[in-house]
Amino acid sequence: MPVKVLIVDDSGFFRNRIADLLGSDARISVVGTASNGREAIEQVKLLRPDVITMDVEMPEMNGIDALRQIMKFSPVHVIMLSSVTHEGARISMKALEAGAADCIPKDLREWMGSSSAINNQLCDQVVALGKSRRPRVHTSPPSSDKPRSSIRPSPTRHETAVAVPSTVSDRSTFTVSSLRQRGEANAAMRVESSPRRSGTVQRFPDCRVVVIGSSTGGPAALQKILTRLPAAFPYPILLVQHMPKTFTPVFAERLNQQCHITVKEATDGDRLVAGTALLAPGGHQLIIDPRQNDRVKVMPGDERLTYKPSVDISYGSAAKCFGDKVLAVILTGMGSDGTDGARLLKRSGAKVWAQDENSSTIYGMPKSVIEADLADAVLDLDEIGTLLSKQGER
pLDDT, tens digit, 9 for 90 and up, residues 106-157: 876 666 665 566 677 889 999 999 999 778 654 444 444 555 334 444 444 3
One of 50, 337, 340, 356 is an active-site residue; which one?
337
Question: What are 92-107's pLDDT values in tens digits?
Answer: 899 999 999 999 888 7
Reply yes or no on whether 242 is catalytic.
yes
Q: Which amino acid is at 133?
A: R
- Closest of 248, 284, 219 to residue 86, by C-alpha: 248
Residue range 364-390: average pLDDT?
96
pLDDT at 338: 97
pLDDT at 23: 92
pLDDT at 107: 74
One of 77, 242, 260, 284 is an active-site residue; which one?
242
Can you tell me the distance from the alpha carbon of 248 to that of 90, in angstroms, rounded to the nearest whole number? Answer: 10
CA atoms within 13 A on the CB side of 141: 26
pLDDT at 116: 62
Reply yes or no on whether 138 is catalytic.
no
DSSP string, 280-321: PPTTEEEEE-SS-TTBEEEEEPPTTSS-SS-HHHHHHHHHHH
Can you tell me the distance from the alpha carbon of 16 to that of 22, in angstroms, rounded to the nearest whole number? Answer: 10
Q: What's the maximum distance between 2 C-alpha atoms anywhere in the chain?
A: 63
Residue 181 falls in which region: left (phi positive, over 0), alpha (psi -120 to 50) or beta: alpha
Say if residue 394's pLDDT is above 60: no
Confidence of residue 171 (pLDDT cuts 50, 70, 90): very low
Reply yes or no on whether 215 is catalytic.
yes
Find residue 348's DSSP bridge partners. none
Question: What are 33-72's pLDDT values in tens digits?
Answer: 999 999 999 999 999 999 999 999 999 999 999 999 999 9
b (16+ CB within 10 A) / e for 296-328: bbbbebbeebebbbbbbbbbbbbbbbbbbbbbb
pLDDT at 62: 93
In a 3-state reduction of DSSP, which class is residue 4? Answer: strand
Residue range 79-87: average pLDDT?
81
Residue 121 CB neighbour total at 10 angstroms: 15
What the chain holds in terms of domains, given with CATH numbers, is 3-130 (3.40.50.2300), 148-393 (3.40.50.180)
Whole-prediction pTM value?
0.83
One of 215, 314, 317, 348 is an active-site residue; which one?
215
